[in-house]
Amino acid sequence: MTPLFLASTEVWLDQLVNGLTTGSIYALIALGYTMVYGVLQLINFAHGEVFMLGSFAGYGTLVALGGNDLSGGMVAVALILAFLAAGGASLGTAVAVERVAYRPLRNAPRLAPLISAIGVSVLLSHLVDDGFLNGGAKFYPQIFPDGDIELGPLQVTYLQLFLMGSSLAMMGVLYWIVQQTKTGRAIRAVAESRDNAALMGVNVNRTIVVTFALGAVLAGFAGVLYGLFFSSIRGSMGFLPGVKAFTAAVLGGIGSIPGAVVGGYFLGLTETVGRELLNEIPGVNLPNQWKDVIAFALLVLVLIFRPTGIFGQKESKRA
């Protein structure tokens, strides 16, 4: 029997795992976009840089605690501290950015906050690249134990498993906060209607800050996971994951939390498995960069044929 595909089963399964891994990172970042968009109808262009600064804070913590020399139980301790530092740094950045660059423009013409957001994004990425790194990159210490786990036919490294598992856990916590706590109810109320929420006694300004903060903490966590997985980090690292995470948020239906998660995994899988599928066409051998083309083409297609995304309910045309 001739095989159905040119690539072997292992290649497909590898791509599946890769897709789920990058998809986890996209999903974590996408949650920040979708929540901020939900309450402010603003594309937080600086969210990629919030993610980047979280990654650097995590890197700083890991290196300060011993870097490549860490071993055994200390790795776990160092990782927890790195996550805390990253979450804290991202949270601080996002709250400061909201206060300085977005809040004064809340009732300004619609393009003003967008330009301000782009300004913050350029400022922060170049501050790190030109101000501190002189255009170079930093490399995360390789502290994760090597080794694979066999899950049936799937081969997954410890790092990949940790990455997928911890992102799922963080998303679960966020979902609980938004659905079950009083703060979460306030966020949902402000997203529904800012004016009505204010009339019902919700502190709108505080809720908006909390929304930024929650999204930022997840982005900071994602920054550490990105660093652990891809190793090299730099000031401009936030741009591409940022745009793709926004794509994921739109795919899922902007404003929807389950949508952002599903969109993130969907985008991760489409990029990796999609490129492999295209390579199945005889004579086609696409370089890795084509996964970006696939991601953007997917965004265009979704917006044209289903602008509300997978989970979106409301008309998003007027976005």
Partner 1 sequence: MPSPAARWKDARAASWDRLPSAARPLAWLILSLVVLFIPFFDDVWMRMFFLVALYVTLGIGLNVVVGLAGLLDLGFVAFFALGAYLVAIFDSPVSPAVNGTVNYWVLLPAAVGVGALFGVLLGLPVLPLRGDYLAIVTLGFGEIVRILLLNMDNITRGSSGLYELEKPAVAGYRVDAVSEFYVMIVIAAFVAWFATARLRDSRVGRAWEAIREDEDVAAAMGINTVKYKLMAFATGASIGALGGAINAPFIDFVAPQSFTLQVSINVLALVIIGGMGSTQGVIAGALILVGVPEVLQFEETANLLEKLGWLRDGMNTAIDGLNGLSPMNLAKLPPADEWGEKLALYRFIVFGALLVAIMIVRPTGLFPSRRREMEFAQTSDAELPAGGTV
Q: Which residues between 22 and 51 bind partner 1 (CB under 8 A)?
A: 34-35, 37-43
Give the contacts of 77 (CB within 8 A, at least 6 positions apart): 65
Measure the CA–CA gap between 308 and 254, rounded to whole angstroms: 7
CB of 200 to partner 1, least distance (A): 16
DSSP 8-54: -HHHHHHHHHHHHHHHHHHHHHHHHHHHHHHHH----TTHHHHHHHH
Backbone angles phi, psi at 233, to 5 degrees: -130, 145
Tell whether residue 3 is a contact of partner 1 (CB under 8 A): no
> What does the alpha-carbon distance between residue 66 and residue 305 come to, in Å, rounded to a whole number?
51
Candidates 268, 218, 243, 248; CA nearest to 311 is: 248
Nearer to partner 1, 74 or 126 (CB): 126
Residue 155 pairs in a beta bridge with 150
Does residue 209 bind partner 1 (CB under 8 A)?
no
| Binding window for partner 1 (CB under 8 A); candidates: 22-30, 65-73, 112-120, 148-156 | 112-120
Looking at the Cβ atoms of 230 and 290, the one nearer to partner 1 is 290
Which CB sits closer to partner 1, 85 or 294? Answer: 294
Residue 136 in contact with partner 1, rule: CB under 8 A: no
Out of 11, 122, 151, 281, the only residue in the binding site for partner 1 (CB under 8 A) is 122
Q: Which is nearer to partner 1, 80 or 319 (CB)?
A: 319
State yes or no: residue 290 binds partner 1 (CB under 8 A): yes
- Should residue 248 be labelled a site residue for partner 1 when binding is judged by CB under 8 A? no
Give the number of residues in contact with partner 1, rule: CB under 8 A.
73
At 306, the amino acid letter reads: R
The one-letter code for the residue type at 302 is V
Q: Does 307 bind partner 1 (CB under 8 A)?
A: yes
Of 38, 44, 50, the residue nearest 218 (C-alpha): 50
Enter the tokens of residue 182. 């009083």
Among 112, 154, 161, 273, binds partner 1 (CB under 8 A): 112
Residues 137-166 that bind partner 1 (CB under 8 A): none
Q: Quick check: 123 binds partner 1 (CB under 8 A)? A: yes
